[in-house]
Chains A and B, each alone.
Chain A
Amino acid sequence: MISSTIGIWNYWIVFCLMMIGLFLVIGRKNFLKKIVGLTIFQTSVFLLYITFGKIKGGTPPILNESIDTIYSNPLPHVLILTAIVVGVATTALGLSLVLRINSEYGTIEEDDISAQDLVDYHDDIETGKSVDLNFNQ
């Protein structure tokens, strides 16, 4: 029991990272920290795939003369290469959004931003300042 639990230590690392990442995304109110959490979360999935692909004593999948060679599965690595690209794109877009949010709101704390938004929302609806018609015909 104990040996099998320790024997899959790589999976434990994966799931610890996964939970840390998910907690950061859900629990933190700072937009930048959320992106850090998201990146950790995605990285843990990359590790999960790579763990699947590894066999003990396996070699890279290059054709070998001897018959009893064990090959590691190369496909998960290739998939993760794609997933890394997607992850980088997500992070880049997220960071650029955080930059724009910071320059528009002057803060990247979720609470401050939603407080500002709430004021705007009620201003628009209650005071009816948006009733003014502006014609471009």
Chain B
Amino acid sequence: MTDILIKNLPIIVVLCPLITSLFVVLIPNIFFSWVLTTLSTFLTFLFSILLYQEIQIHSYISYALGKWMPPIGIEYIIDKVAIIPVIIISGISLIATIFAYKIMPEEIEKKSISKVYSLWLLAIAGLLGLVTTGDAFNLFVFLEISSLASVALVAMGAQKDKQALVAAYNYLIIGAVGATLYVIGVGLLYGITGTLNMEDLTNRISDLNNNKALIAGFGFMIIGIMVKAAVFPLHIWLPRAYAYAPSAVSVLLAATATKASLYILARILFSVFENSEDLINNTLLYVILPLSIIAMFAGTIMAIYEKDIKRLLAHSSVAQIGYITLAFAIGTKASIAAGFIHMFNHAIIKGGLFIAITSLGFYIQKRITINNLSGLGRTMPITFFCFVLCSLSLAGLPLTAGFISKLYLIKATISSDSIWIAILILISSALSVVYLWKMIEVMWMREGRKIVIKENPTIYLSLIFITFLNIYFGLDASLVVDGSFEAAEKLIEDLK
């Protein structure tokens, strides 16, 4: 029994939320649909932990779907790289689901809650499928499953604010164009190589250096994925979608959705196209590096001038994605590892910040702008204490997870002889303190109303847990750092 389970783990991780999503929609009761969703995400997390242990032993698992052997059949690949986003997505979705229990019925009418949970699980399944699949076209299908489910989830925010509809619409259109561009790229590659399996694609590409269709296909794929990952000029959909989505959905999307696409970006750059070195080096140097540096500053400056807190956090996400792509763009082993470290840490930091801000929205029942934060630091000490800790982690103060990622990022830039990039990173981090301080100042220094708000344990428990993770991975980062370095080694080994 356990043998069969272990053998089929790569597909079970994806199927577990996918199948439960079909059952959740049938349950009319809010509580039981939540219980089933939690159970499903918990099992998914458990399976990904099992998968992590398997990876420590075998370091590479290839699963042939339906016993059709790759490269003809669809293959699911879990290796030391893929396990990082799997753990991030399943872990964060468990925390977000527990958090959703109290928040969800506040913002969505009772009769549609079970449907929302169904979409919720569908989005998680799509994201997990995205990172586990080893087939380029299968990847597109999961890309669309996750993004259609997320669009519908964002649109559920319309009961609170009608702008959610426009946000969801823009997300849908931009996302669909991105996914279609990706399909064009896959089509061109299929036309010249005759395969869709990523590993097979890697081998067959090696004979085709400087083929124009190859370069065009690569461009289409990269741009398509960059849209989904919200890399700088293609990030337009992100702030609105995160700001107007229902609170629990913002937590889920902010912490997981772009991470999966960033992982796909890394995989296309360093694994699928490993044999076209000129192409990759030029792309990294002339496209991704400048865009990431602009993203770091543009995102931060937009955040400084923003007054709506959820949008502010979304703009800051754009900047943080900039750090991750910057780390990939430098292209050394240490920097790619730093990218993965920051991917993990950013998931727990942004998850924590969004949970803190949206539980605040639960208490004040309106859109959260900088003005109505005033004085709330004293009336809701637990929420704000966690909020401040997560903010410090985002700014990169020592003893927090954010510090570890900044440390490794700067170490990597210095060791690759690009001091000026390290300086730019430091400046942008310093600027991020401006918008964080702006919020903290209003909360703690300004006089608020003299009322006591009783904080709800079901809400702050998940917040405390995620804040604890921020501190824990700041004190003992060996788990994340080792995992990331192993992943980077795997990718670089591919590249050489």
Q: Which residues of A contact B (CB under 8 A)?
A: 18, 22, 25, 31, 34-35, 38, 41-42, 45, 48-49, 52, 73, 76, 79, 82-83, 86, 89-90, 93-94, 97-98, 100-101, 104-105, 113-114, 117, 120-121, 124-125, 128, 130-137
Selected from B106, B165, B307, the residue in CB contact (under 8 A) with A97 is B165
**Contact indicator A120/B169 (Cβ below 8 Å):** no
Known: A42-B180, A97-B172. A76 touches B366 (CB 8 A): no
- Asked if B166 contacts A45 (CB within 8 A), the reply is no
Whether B454 contacts A137 by the Cβ 8 Å rule is yes
Q: Does B191 reach chain A (CB closer than 8 Å)?
A: yes
Report whether B190 and A76 are in contact in the complex, using a CB–CB cutoff of 8 Å.
yes
**Given known A-B contacts A45-B183, A100-B155, A130-B369, A135 and B169 have beta carbons under 8 A apart:** no
User: Count of chain B residues with Cβ under 8 Å from any Cβ of A?
Assistant: 44
CB contact under 8 A between A101 and B148, given known A45-B183, A45-B184, A120-B163:
no
A125 pairs with B308, CB closer than 8 A:
yes
Most chain B Cβ neighbours within 10 Å, of A86, A105, A125: A86
A–B pairs, 18, beta carbons within 8 Å: A22-B177, A25-B173, A42-B176, A49-B187, A82-B137, A93-B148, A94-B169, A97-B165, A100-B155, A101-B169, A117-B163, A125-B307, A133-B449, A134-B364, A134-B365, A136-B363, A136-B365, A137-B453
Query: A52-B191, A86-B144, A124-B366 known; 7 other A-B pairs, CB under 8 Å?
Result: A38-B176, A42-B180, A79-B196, A124-B367, A125-B371, A130-B372, A131-B366
Complex: chain A residue closest to B72, CB-CB: A75
Interface membership of B168, Cβ < 8 A:
yes
- CB-CB < 8 A to A89: which residues of B? 144, 148
Q: Are A31 and B172 in contact (CB under 8 A)?
A: no
Question: Are B180 and A45 touching (Cβ within 8 A)?
Answer: yes
CB-contact partner of B166 in A79, A113, A128, A132, under 8 A = A113
**Residue of B with least CB distance to A82:** B141
Among B162, B172, B196, B451, point to the contact of A93 (Cβ < 8 A). B172
- Which residues of the partner chain A approach B449 to less than 8 Å between Cβ atoms? 133
Which of B191, B367, B453, B454 lies in contact with A130, CB distance below 8 A?
B367
* Interface majority SS (helix, strand, loop, mixed), chain A: helix
Main secondary structure of the interface of B (DSSP, over half): helix
Which residues from B are CB-within-8-Å of A93?
Answer: 148, 151-152, 172
- Interface hits, B146-204 → A, CB 8 Å: 148, 151-152, 155, 158, 162-163, 165-166, 168-169, 172-173, 176-177, 179-180, 183-184, 187, 190-191, 194, 196
- Shortest CB–CB separation between residue A55 and chain B, in angstroms? 13
B366 touches A132 (CB 8 A): yes
Q: Is the CB of B158 within 8 A of A90?
A: no
Tell whether A52 pairs with B190 under 8 Å between CB atoms, given A22-B177, A38-B173, A100-B155: yes
Residues B364 and A97 in contact, CB atoms below 8 Å apart:
no
Give Cα A22–Cα B184 distance, bound, in whole angstroms: 13
